[in-house]
A and B are shown apart, each in its own frame.
Chain A
Amino acid sequence: MSGFVSTRGQVGFNDLKIPGAWSRKIGKDLYEVFIGPQHPGSGHMRIIIRIDGDVIVEADPDMGYVHRTMEKLGEGREWIKGIPLYERMAIHDACNVTLPYVRAVEQLLGIEAPLRAKYLRVLLCEINRIAAYLYGFGIFGVFVGHSTMYMWPFGDREVWIELADWLTGARLTHSYPVFGGVRRDVPADFTNQLRKAIRYMRKRLEEYRKIYVDNPVIRARLEDVGVIPKNLAIELGITGPNLRASGVLYDVRYNDPYEVYDELDFEIPVFQEGDALARVWQRVEEIKQSLRILEQVADWLDKHPREPILHDRFWKTAPPLHKKIFETEGRAKLVPLYALLKVPKGKAYAKAETARGEITYYVESDGGQKPYRVRIVSASARNAIVFKYILPGHRVMDLPTIYGSIDYFPPEADR
Protein backbone atom coordinates (compact mmCIF):
# COMPACT_ATOMS: atom_id res chain seq x y z
CA MET A 1 0.00 0.00 0.00
CA SER A 2 1.39 3.31 -0.98
CA GLY A 3 0.65 6.61 0.58
CA PHE A 4 2.44 9.64 1.83
CA VAL A 5 6.12 8.83 1.69
CA SER A 6 7.74 12.19 1.52
CA THR A 7 11.42 12.81 1.83
CA ARG A 8 10.99 16.52 1.52
CA GLY A 9 13.50 18.29 3.69
CA GLN A 10 16.15 15.63 3.17
CA VAL A 11 16.62 16.49 -0.48
CA GLY A 12 15.94 20.02 -1.60
CA PHE A 13 14.48 20.75 -4.99
CA ASN A 14 17.36 21.88 -7.13
CA ASP A 15 17.20 23.99 -10.23
CA LEU A 16 15.34 22.70 -13.24
CA LYS A 17 17.35 20.62 -15.66
CA ILE A 18 17.54 20.03 -19.39
CA PRO A 19 14.72 17.71 -20.48
CA GLY A 20 15.17 14.14 -21.58
CA ALA A 21 15.62 11.18 -19.31
CA TRP A 22 18.87 11.54 -17.45
CA SER A 23 19.84 11.17 -13.89
CA ARG A 24 22.29 12.43 -11.37
CA LYS A 25 23.33 11.42 -7.93
CA ILE A 26 21.96 13.71 -5.28
CA GLY A 27 22.88 11.85 -2.15
CA LYS A 28 23.95 8.48 -0.91
CA ASP A 29 21.94 5.87 -2.87
CA LEU A 30 19.51 8.51 -4.13
CA TYR A 31 19.22 9.39 -7.80
CA GLU A 32 17.13 11.95 -9.59
CA VAL A 33 15.65 10.72 -12.87
CA PHE A 34 13.99 12.97 -15.41
CA ILE A 35 11.36 11.22 -17.49
CA GLY A 36 9.97 13.13 -20.45
CA PRO A 37 8.80 15.26 -22.12
CA GLN A 38 10.13 13.00 -24.88
CA HIS A 39 9.22 9.51 -23.75
CA PRO A 40 7.80 6.35 -25.31
CA GLY A 41 4.20 7.21 -24.51
CA SER A 42 4.27 10.48 -26.43
CA GLY A 43 3.12 12.38 -23.39
CA HIS A 44 3.71 16.08 -23.09
CA MET A 45 4.68 15.88 -19.48
CA ARG A 46 7.76 15.37 -17.44
CA ILE A 47 7.90 13.51 -14.17
CA ILE A 48 10.95 14.07 -12.03
CA ILE A 49 11.41 11.11 -9.73
CA ARG A 50 13.96 10.42 -7.02
CA ILE A 51 14.84 6.78 -6.72
CA ASP A 52 16.56 4.64 -4.13
CA GLY A 53 17.66 1.56 -6.01
CA ASP A 54 14.62 1.27 -8.22
CA VAL A 55 12.04 2.34 -5.67
CA ILE A 56 10.58 5.80 -6.13
CA VAL A 57 10.87 7.87 -2.99
CA GLU A 58 9.57 11.13 -4.36
CA ALA A 59 7.81 12.19 -7.54
CA ASP A 60 7.37 15.68 -8.87
CA PRO A 61 5.05 16.01 -11.87
CA ASP A 62 6.33 18.85 -14.01
CA MET A 63 3.31 20.06 -15.97
CA GLY A 64 2.77 22.97 -18.27
CA TYR A 65 4.43 21.78 -21.48
CA VAL A 66 1.20 22.47 -23.37
CA HIS A 67 0.05 25.50 -21.40
CA ARG A 68 -1.51 27.72 -24.06
CA THR A 69 -3.01 30.30 -21.70
CA MET A 70 -6.65 29.71 -22.60
CA GLU A 71 -7.98 31.52 -19.54
CA LYS A 72 -6.23 34.73 -20.53
CA LEU A 73 -7.08 34.47 -24.24
CA GLY A 74 -10.73 33.84 -23.38
CA GLU A 75 -10.91 37.18 -21.60
CA GLY A 76 -10.00 38.99 -24.80
CA ARG A 77 -12.43 37.27 -27.15
CA GLU A 78 -16.16 37.48 -27.71
CA TRP A 79 -18.36 34.95 -25.94
CA ILE A 80 -18.95 32.72 -28.95
CA LYS A 81 -15.22 32.51 -29.72
CA GLY A 82 -14.72 30.78 -26.40
CA ILE A 83 -16.26 27.58 -27.71
CA PRO A 84 -13.60 26.71 -30.32
CA LEU A 85 -10.90 28.05 -28.01
CA TYR A 86 -11.69 25.92 -24.96
CA GLU A 87 -12.36 22.94 -27.18
CA ARG A 88 -8.62 22.71 -27.86
CA MET A 89 -8.10 21.39 -24.36
CA ALA A 90 -9.22 17.92 -25.35
CA ILE A 91 -10.09 17.89 -29.01
CA HIS A 92 -11.12 14.25 -29.02
CA ASP A 93 -13.59 14.97 -26.21
CA ALA A 94 -14.75 18.28 -27.63
CA CYS A 95 -18.47 18.22 -26.85
CA ASN A 96 -18.02 17.23 -23.21
CA VAL A 97 -15.33 19.83 -22.66
CA THR A 98 -17.22 22.81 -24.06
CA LEU A 99 -20.67 21.88 -22.78
CA PRO A 100 -20.29 23.39 -19.27
CA TYR A 101 -19.06 26.68 -20.78
CA VAL A 102 -22.13 26.79 -23.00
CA ARG A 103 -24.36 25.91 -20.06
CA ALA A 104 -22.79 28.54 -17.81
CA VAL A 105 -23.42 31.24 -20.41
CA GLU A 106 -26.94 29.94 -20.97
CA GLN A 107 -27.57 30.24 -17.24
CA LEU A 108 -26.36 33.84 -17.31
CA LEU A 109 -28.55 34.58 -20.33
CA GLY A 110 -31.47 32.88 -18.62
CA ILE A 111 -32.27 30.59 -21.51
CA GLU A 112 -32.43 26.86 -21.93
CA ALA A 113 -31.87 24.76 -25.02
CA PRO A 114 -34.90 23.03 -26.61
CA LEU A 115 -35.47 19.40 -25.68
CA ARG A 116 -34.27 18.07 -29.02
CA ALA A 117 -31.03 20.02 -28.74
CA LYS A 118 -30.49 18.52 -25.30
CA TYR A 119 -30.84 15.02 -26.67
CA LEU A 120 -28.47 15.84 -29.51
CA ARG A 121 -25.92 17.16 -27.02
CA VAL A 122 -26.15 13.96 -24.99
CA LEU A 123 -25.78 11.99 -28.21
CA LEU A 124 -22.49 13.64 -29.15
CA CYS A 125 -21.26 13.67 -25.54
CA GLU A 126 -21.58 9.91 -25.30
CA ILE A 127 -20.04 9.33 -28.73
CA ASN A 128 -17.12 11.50 -27.64
CA ARG A 129 -16.89 9.69 -24.33
CA ILE A 130 -16.58 6.28 -25.96
CA ALA A 131 -14.02 7.58 -28.47
CA ALA A 132 -12.00 9.17 -25.68
CA TYR A 133 -11.99 5.98 -23.59
CA LEU A 134 -10.80 4.03 -26.61
CA TYR A 135 -8.08 6.62 -27.15
CA GLY A 136 -7.07 6.14 -23.54
CA PHE A 137 -6.92 2.37 -24.01
CA GLY A 138 -4.71 2.83 -27.04
CA ILE A 139 -2.25 5.08 -25.24
CA PHE A 140 -2.24 2.70 -22.28
CA GLY A 141 -1.45 -0.10 -24.70
CA VAL A 142 1.58 1.84 -25.92
CA PHE A 143 2.68 2.40 -22.34
CA VAL A 144 2.58 -1.25 -21.32
CA GLY A 145 4.02 -2.39 -24.65
CA HIS A 146 0.86 -4.12 -25.87
CA SER A 147 0.78 -3.16 -29.56
CA THR A 148 -2.51 -4.92 -30.27
CA MET A 149 -4.18 -2.84 -27.61
CA TYR A 150 -3.00 0.25 -29.45
CA MET A 151 -4.19 -1.00 -32.85
CA TRP A 152 -7.61 -2.35 -31.89
CA PRO A 153 -9.04 0.59 -29.92
CA PHE A 154 -7.69 3.09 -32.43
CA GLY A 155 -9.31 1.14 -35.22
CA ASP A 156 -12.62 0.90 -33.35
CA ARG A 157 -12.41 4.54 -32.37
CA GLU A 158 -12.71 5.43 -36.05
CA VAL A 159 -16.26 4.07 -35.99
CA TRP A 160 -17.26 6.69 -33.45
CA ILE A 161 -15.17 9.43 -35.01
CA GLU A 162 -16.88 8.72 -38.31
CA LEU A 163 -20.30 9.02 -36.67
CA ALA A 164 -19.32 12.33 -35.07
CA ASP A 165 -17.91 13.48 -38.40
CA TRP A 166 -21.19 12.67 -40.09
CA LEU A 167 -23.18 14.45 -37.41
CA THR A 168 -21.10 17.61 -37.07
CA GLY A 169 -18.79 17.87 -40.06
CA ALA A 170 -15.53 17.54 -38.18
CA ARG A 171 -13.58 14.55 -36.96
CA LEU A 172 -12.52 16.05 -33.65
CA THR A 173 -13.18 19.74 -33.16
CA HIS A 174 -16.94 19.75 -33.47
CA SER A 175 -17.91 23.07 -31.79
CA TYR A 176 -21.29 21.39 -31.70
CA PRO A 177 -23.12 22.93 -28.75
CA VAL A 178 -23.69 26.66 -29.08
CA PHE A 179 -25.58 28.99 -26.75
CA GLY A 180 -29.23 27.99 -26.83
CA GLY A 181 -28.91 24.82 -28.87
CA VAL A 182 -26.73 22.88 -31.26
CA ARG A 183 -25.43 23.50 -34.75
CA ARG A 184 -26.95 20.60 -36.68
CA ASP A 185 -29.69 18.06 -36.64
CA VAL A 186 -29.02 14.38 -37.22
CA PRO A 187 -28.69 13.31 -40.86
CA ALA A 188 -31.20 10.83 -42.25
CA ASP A 189 -30.43 7.18 -41.46
CA PHE A 190 -28.06 8.27 -38.67
CA THR A 191 -29.79 6.28 -35.94
CA ASN A 192 -29.60 3.02 -37.89
CA GLN A 193 -25.86 3.39 -38.34
CA LEU A 194 -25.58 4.31 -34.68
CA ARG A 195 -27.32 1.09 -33.66
CA LYS A 196 -24.98 -0.84 -35.91
CA ALA A 197 -22.00 0.79 -34.21
CA ILE A 198 -23.42 -0.07 -30.78
CA ARG A 199 -23.81 -3.72 -31.73
CA TYR A 200 -20.27 -3.79 -33.11
CA MET A 201 -18.81 -2.19 -30.00
CA ARG A 202 -20.55 -4.65 -27.65
CA LYS A 203 -18.96 -7.49 -29.57
CA ARG A 204 -15.54 -5.85 -29.49
CA LEU A 205 -15.59 -5.18 -25.75
CA GLU A 206 -15.83 -8.91 -25.17
CA GLU A 207 -12.75 -9.40 -27.35
CA TYR A 208 -10.87 -6.68 -25.46
CA ARG A 209 -11.57 -8.59 -22.30
CA LYS A 210 -10.10 -11.76 -23.74
CA ILE A 211 -6.98 -10.25 -25.21
CA TYR A 212 -6.24 -7.50 -22.74
CA VAL A 213 -8.03 -7.19 -19.45
CA ASP A 214 -7.98 -10.91 -18.65
CA ASN A 215 -4.57 -11.42 -20.21
CA PRO A 216 -2.34 -12.98 -17.50
CA VAL A 217 0.65 -10.81 -18.43
CA ILE A 218 -1.37 -7.62 -18.25
CA ARG A 219 -3.03 -8.70 -15.01
CA ALA A 220 0.37 -9.38 -13.47
CA ARG A 221 1.42 -5.85 -14.32
CA LEU A 222 -1.79 -4.09 -13.30
CA GLU A 223 -3.13 -5.87 -10.26
CA ASP A 224 -2.41 -4.16 -6.94
CA VAL A 225 -0.37 -1.49 -8.68
CA GLY A 226 -1.05 2.17 -8.02
CA VAL A 227 -3.70 1.58 -5.39
CA ILE A 228 -5.57 4.74 -4.46
CA PRO A 229 -7.47 4.10 -1.21
CA LYS A 230 -10.93 5.60 -0.95
CA ASN A 231 -10.11 8.17 1.73
CA LEU A 232 -6.99 9.31 -0.12
CA ALA A 233 -8.97 9.64 -3.36
CA ILE A 234 -11.43 11.94 -1.60
CA GLU A 235 -8.66 13.87 0.13
CA LEU A 236 -6.78 14.45 -3.13
CA GLY A 237 -10.00 15.45 -4.89
CA ILE A 238 -9.33 13.29 -7.93
CA THR A 239 -12.19 12.75 -10.30
CA GLY A 240 -13.74 10.66 -13.01
CA PRO A 241 -13.24 6.93 -13.55
CA ASN A 242 -10.19 7.03 -11.28
CA LEU A 243 -12.36 8.18 -8.39
CA ARG A 244 -15.11 5.67 -9.07
CA ALA A 245 -12.56 2.85 -9.35
CA SER A 246 -11.61 3.71 -5.76
CA GLY A 247 -15.13 3.14 -4.50
CA VAL A 248 -16.55 6.66 -4.44
CA LEU A 249 -19.90 7.05 -6.17
CA TYR A 250 -19.60 10.43 -7.81
CA ASP A 251 -20.58 11.20 -11.35
CA VAL A 252 -21.93 14.59 -12.36
CA ARG A 253 -24.43 12.87 -14.63
CA TYR A 254 -25.84 11.14 -11.55
CA ASN A 255 -25.23 13.57 -8.69
CA ASP A 256 -26.21 16.76 -10.48
CA PRO A 257 -27.86 15.71 -13.74
CA TYR A 258 -27.59 18.13 -16.62
CA GLU A 259 -29.25 18.14 -20.04
CA VAL A 260 -31.46 15.02 -20.17
CA TYR A 261 -29.39 12.61 -18.13
CA ASP A 262 -32.09 12.46 -15.46
CA GLU A 263 -34.57 11.07 -18.00
CA LEU A 264 -32.26 8.32 -19.20
CA ASP A 265 -31.80 4.91 -17.63
CA PHE A 266 -28.20 4.06 -16.88
CA GLU A 267 -25.99 2.97 -14.02
CA ILE A 268 -22.79 4.33 -12.57
CA PRO A 269 -20.30 1.47 -12.19
CA VAL A 270 -18.15 1.61 -9.06
CA PHE A 271 -15.15 -0.56 -8.24
CA GLN A 272 -13.70 -0.96 -4.77
CA GLU A 273 -10.13 -2.09 -5.50
CA GLY A 274 -8.68 1.24 -6.62
CA ASP A 275 -5.75 -0.31 -8.48
CA ALA A 276 -4.72 0.04 -12.12
CA LEU A 277 -6.73 -3.01 -13.19
CA ALA A 278 -9.87 -1.64 -11.56
CA ARG A 279 -9.41 1.61 -13.47
CA VAL A 280 -9.26 -0.31 -16.74
CA TRP A 281 -12.36 -2.32 -15.85
CA GLN A 282 -14.08 0.89 -14.82
CA ARG A 283 -13.63 2.29 -18.31
CA VAL A 284 -14.86 -0.91 -19.95
CA GLU A 285 -18.00 -0.80 -17.82
CA GLU A 286 -18.51 2.89 -18.53
CA ILE A 287 -18.41 2.23 -22.26
CA LYS A 288 -21.20 -0.32 -21.77
CA GLN A 289 -23.30 2.27 -19.94
CA SER A 290 -22.62 4.86 -22.64
CA LEU A 291 -23.84 2.37 -25.22
CA ARG A 292 -27.02 1.99 -23.19
CA ILE A 293 -27.53 5.74 -23.15
CA LEU A 294 -26.93 5.95 -26.90
CA GLU A 295 -29.55 3.29 -27.57
CA GLN A 296 -32.15 5.28 -25.64
CA VAL A 297 -31.20 8.49 -27.41
CA ALA A 298 -31.51 6.75 -30.78
CA ASP A 299 -34.98 5.51 -29.81
CA TRP A 300 -36.03 8.99 -28.74
CA LEU A 301 -34.76 10.56 -31.96
CA ASP A 302 -36.64 8.00 -34.03
CA LYS A 303 -39.90 8.69 -32.23
CA HIS A 304 -39.73 12.47 -32.36
CA PRO A 305 -39.92 14.43 -35.58
CA ARG A 306 -37.72 17.37 -36.41
CA GLU A 307 -38.28 20.46 -34.37
CA PRO A 308 -36.20 23.58 -33.65
CA ILE A 309 -32.76 22.93 -32.24
CA LEU A 310 -31.99 26.54 -31.33
CA HIS A 311 -33.59 28.66 -28.64
CA ASP A 312 -36.18 31.09 -29.97
CA ARG A 313 -34.21 34.12 -28.85
CA PHE A 314 -31.54 33.26 -31.41
CA TRP A 315 -33.67 31.46 -33.98
CA LYS A 316 -36.06 34.35 -34.55
CA THR A 317 -33.15 36.58 -35.61
CA ALA A 318 -32.06 34.12 -38.30
CA PRO A 319 -32.39 35.40 -41.88
CA PRO A 320 -34.95 33.55 -44.06
CA LEU A 321 -32.17 31.88 -46.04
CA HIS A 322 -30.80 30.25 -42.88
CA LYS A 323 -34.24 28.96 -41.99
CA LYS A 324 -34.56 27.47 -45.42
CA ILE A 325 -31.20 25.75 -45.08
CA PHE A 326 -32.33 24.29 -41.77
CA GLU A 327 -35.51 22.92 -43.28
CA THR A 328 -33.74 21.25 -46.18
CA GLU A 329 -30.40 20.18 -44.70
CA GLY A 330 -30.91 20.22 -40.92
CA ARG A 331 -28.08 22.69 -40.42
CA ALA A 332 -28.65 25.70 -38.21
CA LYS A 333 -26.14 28.33 -39.26
CA LEU A 334 -24.80 30.64 -36.60
CA VAL A 335 -27.01 33.70 -36.45
CA PRO A 336 -25.36 37.15 -36.57
CA LEU A 337 -26.56 37.87 -33.04
CA TYR A 338 -23.81 35.63 -31.65
CA ALA A 339 -21.03 37.91 -32.86
CA LEU A 340 -22.09 40.86 -30.71
CA LEU A 341 -23.78 38.94 -27.93
CA LYS A 342 -23.87 40.73 -24.59
CA VAL A 343 -24.23 38.58 -21.52
CA PRO A 344 -25.88 40.06 -18.41
CA LYS A 345 -23.74 40.78 -15.39
CA GLY A 346 -23.34 37.87 -13.02
CA LYS A 347 -21.42 34.74 -12.23
CA ALA A 348 -22.13 31.14 -13.03
CA TYR A 349 -20.57 27.82 -12.20
CA ALA A 350 -21.11 24.80 -14.40
CA LYS A 351 -19.71 21.31 -14.42
CA ALA A 352 -19.93 18.29 -16.63
CA GLU A 353 -18.62 14.76 -16.67
CA THR A 354 -16.01 14.37 -19.39
CA ALA A 355 -14.34 11.10 -20.28
CA ARG A 356 -11.58 11.78 -17.77
CA GLY A 357 -13.76 13.18 -15.02
CA GLU A 358 -15.39 16.34 -13.94
CA ILE A 359 -14.63 19.64 -15.64
CA THR A 360 -15.68 22.88 -14.01
CA TYR A 361 -16.08 26.36 -15.44
CA TYR A 362 -16.41 29.48 -13.36
CA VAL A 363 -17.66 32.24 -15.65
CA GLU A 364 -17.99 35.84 -14.61
CA SER A 365 -19.51 38.52 -16.79
CA ASP A 366 -19.44 42.28 -16.36
CA GLY A 367 -22.24 42.76 -18.87
CA GLY A 368 -19.99 43.19 -21.86
CA GLN A 369 -19.25 41.42 -25.10
CA LYS A 370 -16.39 39.51 -23.56
CA PRO A 371 -16.11 37.39 -20.42
CA TYR A 372 -14.56 39.08 -17.42
CA ARG A 373 -13.03 35.90 -16.08
CA VAL A 374 -13.25 32.27 -17.07
CA ARG A 375 -11.65 29.80 -14.73
CA ILE A 376 -11.37 26.28 -16.06
CA VAL A 377 -10.22 23.30 -14.06
CA SER A 378 -10.26 20.17 -16.12
CA ALA A 379 -10.32 16.58 -15.01
CA SER A 380 -6.69 15.87 -15.86
CA ALA A 381 -5.56 18.97 -13.98
CA ARG A 382 -7.15 17.55 -10.86
CA ASN A 383 -5.89 14.03 -11.48
CA ALA A 384 -2.27 15.13 -11.94
CA ILE A 385 -1.86 15.39 -8.18
CA VAL A 386 -2.08 11.59 -8.03
CA PHE A 387 1.45 11.19 -9.37
CA LYS A 388 2.91 13.14 -6.51
CA TYR A 389 1.18 11.15 -3.79
CA ILE A 390 0.78 7.68 -5.30
CA LEU A 391 4.06 7.06 -7.12
CA PRO A 392 6.29 7.03 -3.99
CA GLY A 393 6.72 3.46 -2.83
CA HIS A 394 6.40 1.94 -6.30
CA ARG A 395 9.15 0.66 -8.53
CA VAL A 396 10.20 2.55 -11.64
CA MET A 397 8.72 -0.17 -13.87
CA ASP A 398 5.28 0.61 -12.41
CA LEU A 399 5.44 4.24 -13.50
CA PRO A 400 4.18 3.68 -17.08
CA THR A 401 1.42 1.46 -15.75
CA ILE A 402 0.20 4.06 -13.27
CA TYR A 403 0.60 6.93 -15.73
CA GLY A 404 -1.39 5.05 -18.35
CA SER A 405 -4.10 3.83 -16.02
CA ILE A 406 -4.83 7.36 -14.77
CA ASP A 407 -5.55 8.27 -18.42
CA TYR A 408 -3.82 11.58 -17.96
CA PHE A 409 -4.12 13.91 -20.96
CA PRO A 410 -1.64 16.80 -20.72
CA PRO A 411 -3.26 19.35 -23.09
CA GLU A 412 -6.41 19.11 -21.01
CA ALA A 413 -4.49 19.49 -17.76
CA ASP A 414 -2.38 22.43 -18.90
CA ARG A 415 -5.17 24.34 -20.67
Chain B
Amino acid sequence: MSSSEVIEKIKEALGDIIESIEEGKGVVHVFVPVDKIVEAARKLKELGFDHIKDVTAIDYPKENVIKIIYHASSYGNVELSKYIVGLGYSIPRDTERVPSLYSVWTTADFQEREVYEAFGIVFEGHPDLRPLLLSPPVAELKPLRKDFVVKEETIFRK
Protein backbone atom coordinates (compact mmCIF):
# COMPACT_ATOMS: atom_id res chain seq x y z
CA MET B 1 0.00 0.00 0.00
CA SER B 2 1.44 3.33 -0.99
CA SER B 3 0.96 6.56 0.88
CA SER B 4 -1.41 7.96 -1.73
CA GLU B 5 -3.62 4.89 -1.34
CA VAL B 6 -3.71 5.46 2.42
CA ILE B 7 -4.78 9.05 1.84
CA GLU B 8 -7.49 7.86 -0.54
CA LYS B 9 -8.73 5.42 2.06
CA ILE B 10 -8.89 8.12 4.69
CA LYS B 11 -10.69 10.48 2.33
CA GLU B 12 -13.22 7.76 1.61
CA ALA B 13 -13.78 6.98 5.28
CA LEU B 14 -13.97 10.51 6.64
CA GLY B 15 -15.81 11.97 3.66
CA ASP B 16 -16.71 15.62 3.84
CA ILE B 17 -15.66 16.06 7.45
CA ILE B 18 -12.15 16.80 6.22
CA GLU B 19 -11.22 20.47 6.21
CA SER B 20 -7.78 20.13 4.70
CA ILE B 21 -5.00 17.63 4.12
CA GLU B 22 -1.36 18.63 4.51
CA GLU B 23 1.49 16.35 3.55
CA GLY B 24 4.78 16.50 5.39
CA LYS B 25 7.86 14.31 5.21
CA GLY B 26 6.80 10.95 6.59
CA VAL B 27 3.45 12.17 7.87
CA VAL B 28 0.01 13.18 6.59
CA HIS B 29 -2.03 15.70 8.53
CA VAL B 30 -5.79 15.53 8.24
CA PHE B 31 -7.59 18.52 9.72
CA VAL B 32 -11.22 18.32 10.78
CA PRO B 33 -13.50 20.72 12.69
CA VAL B 34 -13.09 20.47 16.43
CA ASP B 35 -16.64 19.31 17.06
CA LYS B 36 -16.28 16.39 14.62
CA ILE B 37 -12.99 15.13 16.05
CA VAL B 38 -14.41 12.24 18.09
CA GLU B 39 -16.41 10.98 15.13
CA ALA B 40 -13.39 11.25 12.84
CA ALA B 41 -11.19 9.44 15.36
CA ARG B 42 -13.65 6.57 15.61
CA LYS B 43 -13.69 6.19 11.85
CA LEU B 44 -9.92 6.27 11.71
CA LYS B 45 -9.75 3.59 14.36
CA GLU B 46 -12.13 1.41 12.36
CA LEU B 47 -9.72 1.73 9.43
CA GLY B 48 -7.05 0.08 11.55
CA PHE B 49 -5.24 2.96 13.18
CA ASP B 50 -5.40 1.34 16.58
CA HIS B 51 -3.08 3.47 18.68
CA ILE B 52 -1.63 6.95 18.76
CA LYS B 53 2.04 7.68 18.93
CA ASP B 54 1.73 11.14 20.37
CA VAL B 55 -0.48 14.14 20.88
CA THR B 56 1.26 17.21 19.55
CA ALA B 57 0.13 20.74 20.16
CA ILE B 58 1.67 23.63 18.27
CA ASP B 59 1.16 27.28 19.05
CA TYR B 60 0.92 29.88 16.26
CA PRO B 61 0.57 33.26 17.96
CA LYS B 62 0.66 35.19 14.68
CA GLU B 63 -2.42 33.44 13.32
CA ASN B 64 -3.91 33.21 16.84
CA VAL B 65 -4.26 29.47 16.47
CA ILE B 66 -3.25 26.36 18.37
CA LYS B 67 -3.17 23.12 16.42
CA ILE B 68 -3.64 19.85 18.27
CA ILE B 69 -2.64 16.77 16.31
CA TYR B 70 -3.05 13.11 17.22
CA HIS B 71 -0.46 11.06 15.36
CA ALA B 72 -2.10 7.68 14.83
CA SER B 73 -0.64 4.49 13.48
CA SER B 74 -1.30 0.78 13.45
CA TYR B 75 0.10 -2.26 15.22
CA GLY B 76 -2.47 -4.77 14.03
CA ASN B 77 -2.26 -4.02 10.31
CA VAL B 78 1.27 -4.56 8.98
CA GLU B 79 0.62 -2.60 5.79
CA LEU B 80 -0.61 0.45 7.66
CA SER B 81 2.05 0.27 10.34
CA LYS B 82 4.46 2.13 8.11
CA TYR B 83 2.33 5.25 7.90
CA ILE B 84 1.61 8.00 10.37
CA VAL B 85 -1.63 9.89 10.08
CA GLY B 86 -1.98 13.08 12.05
CA LEU B 87 -5.61 13.75 12.87
CA GLY B 88 -5.86 17.31 14.04
CA TYR B 89 -7.86 20.44 14.48
CA SER B 90 -7.07 24.09 15.03
CA ILE B 91 -8.65 26.19 17.73
CA PRO B 92 -8.30 29.87 18.68
CA ARG B 93 -5.62 30.43 21.30
CA ASP B 94 -8.05 31.43 24.02
CA THR B 95 -10.11 28.23 23.73
CA GLU B 96 -10.36 26.56 27.10
CA ARG B 97 -12.18 23.31 26.43
CA VAL B 98 -11.82 20.71 23.72
CA PRO B 99 -13.17 17.15 23.52
CA SER B 100 -10.93 14.35 24.76
CA LEU B 101 -10.17 11.30 22.65
CA TYR B 102 -9.56 9.09 25.67
CA SER B 103 -12.74 7.17 24.85
CA VAL B 104 -11.34 6.25 21.43
CA TRP B 105 -7.62 5.75 22.09
CA THR B 106 -6.65 4.80 25.65
CA THR B 107 -3.11 5.84 24.78
CA ALA B 108 -4.27 9.45 24.87
CA ASP B 109 -4.54 9.20 28.65
CA PHE B 110 -1.05 10.45 29.53
CA GLN B 111 -0.45 12.39 26.34
CA GLU B 112 -3.46 14.64 26.82
CA ARG B 113 -2.37 15.32 30.37
CA GLU B 114 0.94 16.51 28.97
CA VAL B 115 -0.74 18.89 26.54
CA TYR B 116 -3.00 20.09 29.34
CA GLU B 117 -0.10 21.07 31.57
CA ALA B 118 2.02 22.63 28.83
CA PHE B 119 -0.72 24.59 27.05
CA GLY B 120 -3.47 24.93 29.64
CA ILE B 121 -6.08 23.34 27.40
CA VAL B 122 -8.74 21.32 29.21
CA PHE B 123 -9.81 18.05 27.60
CA GLU B 124 -13.45 17.44 28.34
CA GLY B 125 -14.29 13.83 29.06
CA HIS B 126 -10.81 12.90 30.23
CA PRO B 127 -11.28 10.87 33.41
CA ASP B 128 -8.26 12.12 35.32
CA LEU B 129 -6.91 15.41 34.05
CA ARG B 130 -3.98 16.53 36.23
CA PRO B 131 -0.49 17.78 35.39
CA LEU B 132 1.71 14.80 34.50
CA LEU B 133 5.30 16.00 34.45
CA LEU B 134 5.26 19.46 35.99
CA SER B 135 4.48 20.60 39.48
CA PRO B 136 1.31 22.74 39.67
CA PRO B 137 3.05 26.15 40.05
CA VAL B 138 5.18 25.52 36.94
CA ALA B 139 2.23 24.19 34.97
CA GLU B 140 0.44 27.49 35.53
CA LEU B 141 3.05 29.19 33.32
CA LYS B 142 1.77 27.24 30.27
CA PRO B 143 5.42 26.80 29.29
CA LEU B 144 5.14 25.44 25.76
CA ARG B 145 3.13 28.37 24.48
CA LYS B 146 5.21 30.70 22.37
CA ASP B 147 4.65 33.72 24.62
CA PHE B 148 6.56 31.96 27.39
CA VAL B 149 10.16 32.69 26.41
CA VAL B 150 13.28 31.19 27.96
CA LYS B 151 16.38 33.32 27.77
CA GLU B 152 19.13 31.91 25.60
CA GLU B 153 22.80 32.82 25.72
CA THR B 154 24.69 32.84 22.45
CA ILE B 155 28.07 33.80 21.10
CA PHE B 156 26.50 35.49 18.08
CA ARG B 157 25.24 39.05 18.17
CA LYS B 158 21.49 39.34 17.95
Residues of B within 8 A of A13 (CB): 128, 130
Residues of B within 8 A of A358 (CB): 53
A155 at the interface (CB under 8 A from B): no
In the docked arrangement, what's the CA distance between A63 and B134, Å? 9
In the docked arrangement, what's the CA distance between A382 and B54, Å? 9
Nearest residue, chain B, Cβ from A15: B136
Tier of interface size on chain A: 35 or more
- Contact in complex: B150, A72 (CB < 8 Å): yes
Q: Which positions 49-83 of chain A face chain B at CB distance < 8 Å?
A: 63-64, 67, 69, 71-73, 76-77
Residues of B within 8 A of A360 (CB): 53-54, 71, 84
How many residues in B have their beta carbons less than 8 Å from beta carbons of A? Answer: 43
**Which one of A72, A233, A348, A373 lies within 8 Å of B27 (CB-CB)?**
A348
Residues of A within 8 A of B109 (CB): 385, 388
Interface string of B43-69 (1 = CB under 8 A from A): 000000011111010110000000001
Give the interface segment out of A185-193, A243-251, A297-305.
Answer: A243-251
Residues of B within 8 A of A108 (CB): 25
- Contact in complex: A234, B51 (CB < 8 Å): yes
Residues of A within 8 A of B52 (CB): 237
Q: Which positions 13-57 of chain B face chain A at CB distance < 8 Å?
A: 22, 24-27, 29, 50-54, 56
B60 to chain A minimum Cβ distance, whole angstroms, is 9
In the docked arrangement, what's the CA distance between A124 and B80, Å? 29
**Which one of A236, A256, A377, A389 lies within 8 Å of B53 (CB-CB)?**
A377
**Which one of A76, A237, A373 lies within 8 Å of B51 (CB-CB)?**
A237
Residues of B within 8 A of A256 (CB): 81-82
Residues of A within 8 A of B150 (CB): 69, 72-73, 76
- Contact in complex: A348, B25 (CB < 8 Å): yes
A47 at the interface (CB under 8 A from B): no
In the docked arrangement, what's the CA distance between A277 and B78, Å? 26
With A72-B150, A348-B25 given, is the CB distance from A249 to B78 under 8 Å? yes
Residues of A within 8 A of B22 (CB): 347
A-B pairs with beta carbons under 8 Å apart, 21 shown: A8-B127, A8-B128, A63-B133, A64-B131, A72-B148, A236-B107, A237-B105, A243-B75, A249-B78, A347-B22, A347-B24, A347-B27, A348-B25, A350-B26, A360-B53, A360-B54, A362-B69, A375-B58, A382-B53, A385-B109, A415-B133
